[in-house]
A and B are shown apart, each in its own frame.
Chain A
Amino acid sequence: MKTLTCSLLILSLALLVSTASYAQEETDIETLRAADVNSDGIINILDLVLLASHFGETVAEAQTPNPDVNGDGSVNILDLVRVANHLGETVRPPVAFVSADPESDVEITTNDSITLTFDNPPADVTVSTGFAITDGNSVAITGPFTPGDLELTITWADGTETLSYTIRPLVAFVSIAPAIDTEMTVDGSIIATFDNPPADVTVSEGTASIDGNSVTIEGPFTPGALELTMTWKDGTEIFTYTVTAPDTEAPSITGGTVSDGDTDVNPSAAIEIEFSEEVRGLVTLRTEADDNVGWITTFDGNKVMLTPVAGKELDPETRYVITVKVKDAADNRTDINITFTTGSAYDGIPIEVTDANFDTVVIESKLPVVVESYKDG
């Protein structure tokens, strides 16, 4: 009997709706969704049939499908009329939030973006912070966000979602010392500076230690071309250097006006000692008794000059010792003595000069020298 009654009602209503002219009025989405009893997205005869099958029943609020279209607790003619009023209308499905990337409760940077995914394209999206761009089922929320704790509320036509993040500053690389494409030693160190303290720093060679906004990368590095990759939480930088092998070679004497064992050395001439590399330290001219003669020592790159001082002339035919205690830039030391004997004092007999001894006899002489040219024979 109930089925028959309902069927008659349905037919009547369907006929009524199909012939009557209704004023179109805006209907809220929730009303339409309630009229779409079977939730298939369209309000049609199937909804009426489903409703009719429960006609006269009292239904629970949460029943699914829910034939109590108007929510008054019972399925009756009012529900049938409401469905009939919207026959043929389609119903947009409710859009549900699916996920966020990155997910809530994680740390992101000021410049990161958050992508929200919905099960259908959301409408009327607004966000409490940042800027939202909707594209299909996705919404991209871009910053920049303010460092600190962020509670981000996203509201769309069908709902609201609140996500929480911790915002940290984006750490950018600022500078490196020494400059790239320069030379450095195997045991050298490199200091990288950032605008904020970096995290998760790794380097392809050496050892990295973080101190505030700086990262110190210490060797040993492999000699040769070095391509050092430094990665931190927010980026990667590549630095190139030439790593030089350690200097373990002590400076050696490669030349000069006096050599160890020399005799007949001009007692009034300055002494020059040439080394294999730039040196620093002590070079002194001493007597055999180890007294400092008092000549002036001058360092000039890889050369050392011992210059005579008035009143501190060398005695003729006497042994002297140049004590050499020098080191190079890498602190490699050379500690040697050069012993020589001075020549006889000038006795007033003209000295025969040659192309070979000209500088020693004439140029380096402390006394003025008069050179007389002559033609033998």
Chain B
Amino acid sequence: MKPVVTAVALEYRDTFTFAKLDVNTEPQKTGEYHIRGTPTYIVFRDGEIAGAFSGALPSNVLVERILGILEIDETE
């Protein structure tokens, strides 16, 4: 488990759930969501895709991208 993800998941556990999908062992969902590389982050809200992005990012950028997709202003 990468420390970045673990830290973000723990810090924002009340805001979103963090899940991990192994593209080697779960080909159905990998294909269904057109995942072409790792890491790819797909943000779901109410069962629908709210947004997605790829690439290894620093924790602050990762959080920023996720909250942006979820339209959550951390300063509020």
- Give chain A's interface residues, CB within 8 Å of chain B: 346-355, 358, 361-365, 367-377
Contacts and interface: CB of A to CB of B under 8 A. Distances in A.
B9 A349 contact: yes
11 contacts: A348-B13, A349-B10, A353-B19, A358-B21, A362-B19, A367-B17, A371-B42, A373-B20, A373-B21, A373-B42, A374-B39
A370 B10 contact: no
Nearest to A269: B47
A353 B25 CA distance: 10
A374 B41 contact: no
The 10 closest A-B pairs by CB, nearest first: A348-B13, A348-B10, A355-B28, A368-B16, A363-B47, A350-B18, A373-B40, A369-B44, A368-B45, A353-B19
Choose among B16, B21, B29, B33 the residue with the greatest number of A CB atoms under 10 Å from its CB: B21
Contact size range, B: 35 or more
Contacts of A361: 17, 19
A371 B22 contact: no
Contact of A372 (B11, B20, B47): B20
B22 A358 contact: no
Interface string B25-66: 111111001010111111111010010000000000000001
Contact of B21 (A346, A348, A353, A368): A353
B40 to A, nearest CB: 4
Contacts of A368: 15-17, 43-45, 50, 70
A174 to B, nearest CB: 56
A348 B11 CA distance: 7
Contact of A365 (B15, B39, B40, B44): B44
A358 B6 CA distance: 20
Contacts of B66: 370
A374 B13 contact: no
B1 to A, nearest CB: 7
A354 to B, nearest CB: 5
B42 A350 contact: no
A349 B23 contact: no
B41 A370 contact: yes
A232 to B, nearest CB: 63
A355 B13 contact: no
Given A355-B26, A370-B66, A350 B20 contact: yes
A39 to B, nearest CB: 112
A369 B28 CA distance: 18
B24 interface: yes
Nearest to B13: A348
Contacts of B25: 354, 376
A372 B21 CA distance: 6
A349 B10 CA distance: 6
A362 B40 CA distance: 15
A350 B44 contact: no
